[in-house]
Every structure is written in C-alpha cells, then in structure tokens.
C-alpha cells in the first residue's frame, strides 16, 4: 500500500526510521530491530539516504529487502545532494524496480556539511520541491517531504518555512515528516501556519528519545539547534547514571507524544538510530493512544 492510503484509513500512523548499516555487525543490529518493530505492526518504516548521497546502494538494498522479505511497508528516502537529474531518475527507477512506491523527497544537507552553503549538482536540483515534481513525473508514486517545527536553519523565518511546506504539497507531496523537536507548541504552530496557506497534508511529528548525553551534542550538530533547557536539565540531573538518563529520555519522549496525539497529530514517526528498545518503550507507554 502507499502511505497516502495508509494515512487516509483514519487510524493513527506509527512509523519507525532506520539508516543503512555500514558493517556486517551493524547489519545484524538493524535486522534484529526491524524484526522487533515488525511485531508492532507499524504503519510504515523508512530508510534514510546517507549524507552526501553516500549510501545510495545501501539504502536501495535495505529498502528493497524490507519490501520483499518482511510484512513492513518501506519508504525509501532520497536526496538531491551530489546527484544529477539522470542519477536521481535512476535511483527512482531502482526503487520502482524493487517494488518500492513510497519515497521521501529531500534536498539533503549541503555536501560540505550542515553549516556550509548549499551547492547544487550542476545538472541537479536545487530544492526538494523539484524532486517532488521529478518523482511525480516519473510515475504513480507516493511522496513525502520534510518539515521543520523549529525552522530550517537556512530559512529566513517560520513563515517562509511554512510557505516551503505548502509549495511541496502544491507540487504533489502527500504528507510530511518533521525534523525532531521537543516542543509540542512548535509543531502545532507549523501545522496552523501551513493550514492558513491552504496546506492540509498530514504532518507526522518526528520523535527521537534521547537515551544518552552524547546524543544531545550530536543532535545539536545535526539540526543546528540546541535542545531546550528544560529537556537538557532533566537529562543532566541524572547524568551520572546511564540507565536513569535513558529512562528520563523515554519519559520526555512519551510526554511529548501524548501532547501531540491529544492535540490531533495524525501519528508519530520514531527515529530509532537502528536500536528499537527506547522507541518500543515509548510506543508501549502510549498504550491507549496507539489503539485509537
Ligand atoms: P528544501 O525543502 O529544499 O529546503 C531547504 C532550504 O531551502 C530551506 O531553508 C527552505 O526554506 C529553502 N527553500 C526551499 N524551497 C525554496 C524555494 N523555492 N526558494 C527559496 N528557498 C527555498 N538528509 C539526508 O541526507 N538523508 C536523509 O535520509 C534525510 N532524511 C530526513 C528525514 C526527515 C523527516 C527530515 C525532516 C530531514 C531529513 N534529512 C535527511 C535532512 C534534510 O535533507 C535537511 O534538513 C536539508 O537541509 C533540508 O531538506 P529539505 O528536503 O527540507 O529541503
């Protein structure tokens, strides 16, 4: 099924994000997690595309195997970074050839790193909206896009960000998944701004439980944004005890998901980092929300 059909079914969506592994050991960890997640019968799982387009083959391979060897519905991510239009067409063709009809169309971070200026491939695309158009031209695919409750680092304002989201929907995006964030209000503000621009596609909140202190640093680097102080304070208060950090991280994520679902979010997209334990705990904590 397409994610569009799954989201239209009316029940809440629960999905999980993985990245393609680089070693045989990491491959084992990934598949163990995927099998555990499969038992939760999620709406879909998604497989990321490495920074700089480096994991193209790994992403296609994992996505294809999920499509063929599991009961899960996979979404393959795809970025414009360092790819010509022809290369992008061939990746889309490879997904289609392996039975993957769901794609997440992204620009990707600048090839020089998240804090460098964006440089498009000379024969490539400049913005995600162009990739949405390209995928749409090539067939009857279901296309998701990125959205940013805390504002994309390069965007001039929250309003500009909402306009970009609305333009992606206009170009044919079926739904959006957000960057990770920690304030439910920030999510609803984005959804309201987009709605005021006539954009009513489902926006799935991206949630990552922080399970160790090092992740705080890494997330700030990845998203260009520090975690809110109340969140870091709660985690740092138990810094000396890794098990407690993990527990508090799961609690923070559970509270956020509860606020989002109570406020009408159409589901939750969990970022797993290929380890399923913390996200499964949050999912299980959500209990009755999951059933409705
Ligand atoms: P765009 O929509 O192109 O936006 C990029 C910037 O350009 C924004 O500041 C936007 O405001 C601005 N902009 C957009 N359109 C226009 C326009 N027409 N005119 C002027 N300005 C414009 N990265 C990976 O490398 N691999 C992944 O698998 C991956 N998965 C992700 C999954 C999710 C759910 C999210 C939220 C992000 C993911 N990313 C991934 C990161 C993403 O590629 C970066 O955040 C990237 O910097 C922005 O991508 P985008 O698709 O939103 O780009």
Give the number of the atom of ligand 1 that is nearest the alpha carbon of residue 206: 34
Rg from Cα positions in the chain: 18
In short, whether 161's Cβ falls inside 6 Å of ligand 1 is yes
Give the number of the atom of ligand 1 that is nearest the alpha carbon of residue 81: 25
Tens digits of pLDDT across the chain (292 residues): 999 999 999 899 999 999 999 999 999 999 999 999 999 999 999 999 987 666 788 999 999 999 999 999 999 999 999 999 999 999 999 999 999 999 999 999 888 877 789 999 999 999 999 999 999 999 999 999 999 999 998 999 999 999 999 999 999 999 999 999 999 999 999 999 999 999 999 999 999 999 988 887 777 777 767 788 899 899 999 999 999 999 999 999 999 999 999 999 999 999 999 988 999 999 999 987 776 5
Q: Which residues contact 140 (CB under 8 A, 6 or more apart)?
A: 101
In short, whether 236's Cβ falls inside 6 Å of ligand 1 is no
Q: What is the ipTM of this complex?
A: 0.99
In short, whether 77's Cβ falls inside 6 Å of ligand 1 is yes
Q: From ligand 1's centre to the CA of 69, what distance in Å?
A: 31
Q: From ligand 1's centre to the CA of 107, what distance in Å?
A: 5
Q: Which of 148, 146, 144 is nearest to 135 (CA)?
A: 144
Q: Whose CA is nearest to atom 3 of ligand 1?
A: 127
CA contacts within 13 A on the Cβ side of 46:
29
Q: In the numeric block, which tokens belong to residue 146?
A: 């990125």
Q: Which of 171, 125, 169 is nearest to 147 (CA)?
A: 169
In short, whether 175's Cβ falls inside 6 Å of ligand 1 is no
User: Do 263 and 184 contact (CB within 8 A), yes or no?
Assistant: yes
Q: Whose CA is nearest to atom 10 of ligand 1?
A: 155
Give the number of the atom of ligand 1 that is nearest the alpha carbon of residue 168: 2
In the DSSP assignment, the letter for residue 139 is S
In short, whether 83's Cβ falls inside 6 Å of ligand 1 is no
Distance CA 268, CA 19 (A): 18
**Does residue 17 carry a catalytic annotation?**
yes
Q: Whose CA is nearest to atom 2 of ligand 1?
A: 128
Q: In the numeric block, which tokens belong to residue 186?
A: 């920030």
DSSP strand pairing (142-147 vs 102-106): parallel
Q: In the numeric block, which tokens belong to residue 1?
A: 């099924």
Compute CA distances 280 → 11, 80, 248, 263, 271, whole Å.
19, 32, 15, 22, 11
In short, whether 146's Cβ falls inside 6 Å of ligand 1 is yes
DSSP string covering 234-286: HHHTTTT-HHHHHHHHHHHHHHHHHHHHHTT--EEEEE-TT--HHHHHHHHHT
């Amino acid at each position: 099924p397409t994610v569009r059909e799954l989201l239209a079914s009316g029940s809440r969506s629960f999905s999980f994000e993985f990245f393609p592994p680089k070693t045989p050991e990491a491959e084992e960890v990934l598949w163990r997690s995927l099998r555990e997640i499969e038992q939760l019968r999620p709406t879909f799982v998604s497989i990321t595309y490495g920074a700089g387009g480096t994991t193209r083959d790994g992403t296609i391979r994992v996505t294809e195997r999920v499509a063929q060897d599991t009961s899960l519905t996979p979404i393959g991510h795809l970025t414009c970074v360092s790819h010509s239009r022809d290369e992008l067409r061939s990746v889309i063709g490879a997904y289609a050839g392996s039975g993957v009809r769901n794609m997440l169309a992204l620009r990707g971070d600048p090839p020089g790193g998240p804090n460098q200026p964006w440089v498009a491939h000379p024969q490539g695309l400049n913005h995600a909206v162009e990739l949405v158009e390209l995928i749409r031209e090539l067939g009857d695919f279901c296309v998701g896009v990125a959205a940013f409750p805390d504002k994309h680092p390069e965007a001039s304002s929250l309003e500009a960000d909402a306009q970009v989201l609305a333009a992606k929907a206009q170009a044919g995006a079926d739904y959006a998944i957000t960057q990770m964030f920690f304030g439910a209000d920030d999510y609803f503000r984005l959804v309201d701004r987009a709605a005021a621009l006539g954009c009513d596609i489902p926006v799935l909140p991206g949630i990552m439980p922080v399970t160790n202190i090092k992740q705080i640093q890494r997330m700030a680097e990845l998203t260009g944004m520090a975690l809110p102080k109340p969140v870091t304070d709660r985690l740092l208060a138990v810094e000396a005890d890794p098990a407690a950090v993990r527990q508090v991280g799961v609690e923070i994520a559970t509270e956020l998901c509860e606020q989002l679902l109570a406020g009408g979010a159409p589901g939750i997209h969990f970022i797993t980092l290929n380890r399923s334990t913390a996200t499964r705990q949050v999912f299980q904590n959500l209990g009755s929300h999951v059933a409705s």
